[in-house]
Amino acid sequence: MEDVRPVHRVASFTDSYVNGDTTIAPTTNTGSLKVAQVEFTHQGLCLAGRMFAISAGVVANAKAPIQDLGTTTAAWALWNGNTVASNRYLILDTVGVHLASGTSDIGATLWAGLSPTAQASAVSSATGIVGPKNLAASTTLTSAAIMGGAVTLAGAPAWFPLGGFAPHAAAATPGSGLVVVVGGRICIPPQFACGFTVLSGAGTTAKYAVSATWAEMVPIAG
């Protein structure tokens, strides 16, 4: 059976038809698929109840920045608590960080590191975590993800920067931060964890908090 085959055919954006074993998907007068013009990014995943969010945004769970990258310790870690048998991955969409309290130093960078092996034991949820919450408010589709604090990641992850704060003077400006669109480029397998930490000067008792959104999916074989 042939897959969906786009044809150059101008029609209403809801129009499609079947020609034998081939589904014909109409295109615009410039050749793009019309469905791309009427759906938001990730709309289908969200409506299917596959997208979730978690937040460590309360001051009680905020963490001080580090001045040198460690090897295995993460200020926070998003752990995939799904079973290995489920093969259900966390496909990261966004990661956010903000100053929760104190006075920041000049500049800060958010770093991430994916554990190269599965965690030996379950990660405990940190204090004050909200979520995971289904972004379609589904009560039947839930997530086994957990956000832990001060987590020792299994193995020695390769730490890499996700993004940096815009240059600013040291200031007590709670709420200032950034949101990084990961867009599916970090995939957390079952029982693995992805750590996050802020690299910055100590400031004056500066503490930061993170949040994340993701889709939960089973990879398609092949």
Would you kindly state where each structural domain of the chain is located, as residue ranges? Answer: 5-37, 49-217
Q: Which two tokens stand for residue 15?
A: 């129009």
Inter-residue contact 89 to 189 (CB < 8 Å): yes
pTM, two decimals, is: 0.81
For position 25, what pLDDT does the model report? 67
85: CB partners within 8 A, 6+ apart: none
Task: Name which of 22, 171, 177, 38 is nearest 94 in CA terms.
Answer: 177
For position 121, what pLDDT does the model report? 95
Per-residue pLDDT of the chain (222 residues; tens, 9 = 90+): 444 454 444 444 444 444 455 566 666 666 666 655 567 788 888 888 999 999 987 777 788 888 888 778 999 999 999 999 999 999 999 999 988 888 888 888 999 999 999 999 999 999 889 999 999 998 889 999 999 999 999 998 999 999 988 766 666 777 778 899 999 999 999 999 999 999 888 888 888 999 999 999 998 765
For position 201, what pLDDT does the model report? 85
For position 130, what pLDDT does the model report? 92
